[in-house]
Structure 1
Amino acid sequence: MTERFDCHHCNESLFGKKYILREEDPYCVKCFESLYSNTCEECKKPIGCDCKDLSYKDRHWHESCFHCFQCKNSLVDKPFAAKDEHLLCTECYSNEYSSKCLECKKTIMPGTRKMEYRGNSWHETCFICHRCQQPIGTKSFIPKDDQNFCVPCYEKQFAMQCVQCKKAITTGGVTYREQPWHKECFVCTACKKQLSGQRFTSRDEDAYCLNCFCNLYAKKCAGCTNPISGLGGTKYISFEERQWHNDCFNCKKCSLSLVGRGFLTERDDILCPECGKDI
């Protein structure tokens, strides 16, 4: 007795008929298509066994139905893009949706590297420094007056230059006598310590920290011999080309403060009236 060979679904004999195996079970063409064929997105008909099934993101098309939504040209073996569930050839997609390069005004094709800044787009090769005309790429740049500059070109053309080292000041800086300086270049003329952030004074247009200025130029107190800077509200007494700190202007004998009082002199000594009455 001959063994039966039937469709797994309808049980009709498959001898002498075309059939399809699925998970090792045989199906007649009619049953297989009704059970397992995908529906074409375009014509909504089943994609039969004798047709090529083209798929994209779990959607399926007949080969003849796989075309651009806008121009209807076939997309088989061609690049395409998707927009709002519609498939478009690259030309239609670009004309409809792609951004235009701000420099050359041409469409930036899908898949092409582009640069974006403040809502504008450029081809990578069109995004160039206004001064040197070289592509900026992924390097840092500085915008000015609707133009873009690579950092070296911007510094050469626009950045202030330090009076001391003649190099561009890109961050921070100090202004002294209406001229710009790097913080690290603005130093005491004598000891070379940075003056930025601390009190300083000048002599003959040169800047000095207070310690150096006092040591070099300030008069010495006739009492303690330390410099009298006269800066920051320092109070002092002057008499016959000599100077004293207020705290040092005392009677030589009894140490009474003579600030605001009468006094007498004996040689180089300053005396209160009481100590000087026997002079």
Structure 2
Amino acid sequence: MVETQKSSTALQQITSNDVSTICSKCGEKILNVMTADENKVYHPHCFNCSDCGKTLAGGFFYKSKNSKSDESTITSRNSLAEPLRFCEICYKKVAPKCARCHNIIEASSIVWEDKKFHETCFTCWGVDKNGVQCQKPMKDEPVYPLNDKWYCKICFDKLDTGVSAAARDILSQKCRKCYKEFAPGSLVSEYKGDYYHPTCFICSQCNTSIASKSFYHQSKSDDQQSEAKFLCENCHIKNAQECAECKNKIVNGEAIGFEGKQYHRSCFTCQNCHNEIGTAHFFKTKDGKYICQQCSLQQQHDSPTK
């Protein structure tokens, strides 16, 4: 699909052959009749439909806001620098269409689930007991999808879907990653108040699903708008730092950092009493070992005085 606007152009007669007028498409001089669009001039036979090649000079045409390189489905005769232009017939083939009424969308549209709709078509599908359709406009409203249709909250609550009130609240949410709605009956993963499709709740490194599995929260940002990042257990182990004492990966538990090195808490111990030092005061010996404050004081007390 391409976004277009309707335009028109007129033929103009060049009165003098001495006028140096160059066609913006073929680069050759225009000697007799030309047509213009957006401060550019063309031979009439160069100003043509991007799909069928029919000349558009002297009539109405539809011009795309997309560049030719953005629309791979069009077999265009225009250069890459030229915008896409279409005659009336070809425009009907490429114009965006409403996913509900299937008519061409000329003005503004609503995008939902990667589909475009007329604003007047994106309304609640609910029907009351008398057969009267709700047709509430759903723009900027919570959408409750069911079987390729969508409903406002009032109409959805009246449906016999077997969906609990808590599940209905989830249905009004959007996936934290893809920002799409949840379909009734689908599985949902939740983490700290955010909801995800299981296919979206994945390891940020290997892209495998971590739904119903152990994982590690990788994000360090306080920005609520930033995307949370997670690591599966295998990737967490691969990325884990190595303990400077035992040389094993520091996977679980708090790590102790000192002089640019990381240690398991259980490995960062006093060389005398072998108790964990943790974050308490300690001293480094000449041979690079560590002793706790209590052992250091004991050594000073036991050392002979000269």
- Which TM bucket (shorter chain)? 0.3 to 0.5
TM-score in terms of structure 2 length: 0.39
Q: Which has the larger radius of gyration?
A: 1
User: Larger relative contact order (C-alpha < 8 A, sep ≥ 6)?
Assistant: 2
TM-score in terms of structure 1 length: 0.42
